[in-house]
Amino acid sequence: MKNFFSSIKAKISSPKFDELDEEEGYVELDSEAIEQRTKILVRPFILEDFEDMKPILDTLREGHTIALVNIKPLKERDLIELKRAINKLKKTTDAIDGEIAGFGEDYIVVTPSFATIHKTKHMSEVQQVE
């Protein structure tokens, strides 16, 4: 019975210092996987139709992309759809604590929460259209 408890104690107790020295002292990490997660992507989008919003919104929700959205094609075709698309972008930007701003006449810049847009007289705050 004494041997039984001694064997359990040996299995449960921490390893001896000699045993620790025999183990390898490092772990190899996949540096490519870590690098991919930390890089920020600046990605252009063209908004030709309201259905083009899905990939933009999905990418923004991932949180690693700054979106440059060309709204000119939709602006020339359908202003009501453009207002609807901008409202959707604004709501998603608010949900992810990001920022959104107009850049010139035909572009909108949308950033995740970690980025800030430096607004100048050439850029305008995008307001929700009622």
Give me the CATH number covering residue 48: 3.30.110.150
pLDDT of res. 33: 56
- pLDDT class for 120, splitting at 50, 70, 90? confident
Distance CA 8, CA 110 (A): 60
Look at residue 64 and tell me if it is in a domain.
yes
Look at residue 47 and tell me if it is in a domain.
yes
pLDDT digits (tens, 9 = 90+) for 93-113: 999 999 999 888 899 999 999
| CA pseudo-torsion sign 7, 13, 19, 25 | positive
Look at residue 91 and tell me if it is in a domain.
yes
Look at residue 76 and tell me if it is in a domain.
yes
Number of domains present in the structure of the chain: 1
Which residues, in sequence order, are bridge partners of residue 124? Answer: 102
Contact between residue 100 and residue 80 where contact means Cβ atoms under 8 Å apart: no
Percent of residues in the chain assigned helix, strand, coil, to nearest 5: 45, 20, 35
Look at residue 120 and tell me if it is in a domain.
yes
Domain assignment of residue 45, given as a range: 39-125
Distance CA 68, CA 45 (A): 6
* Segment 54-76 mean pLDDT: 94
Look at residue 9 and tell me if it is in a domain.
no
Look at residue 111 and tell me if it is in a domain.
yes
Residue 60: is its pLDDT beyond 70?
A: yes
- pLDDT class for 130, splitting at 50, 70, 90? very low
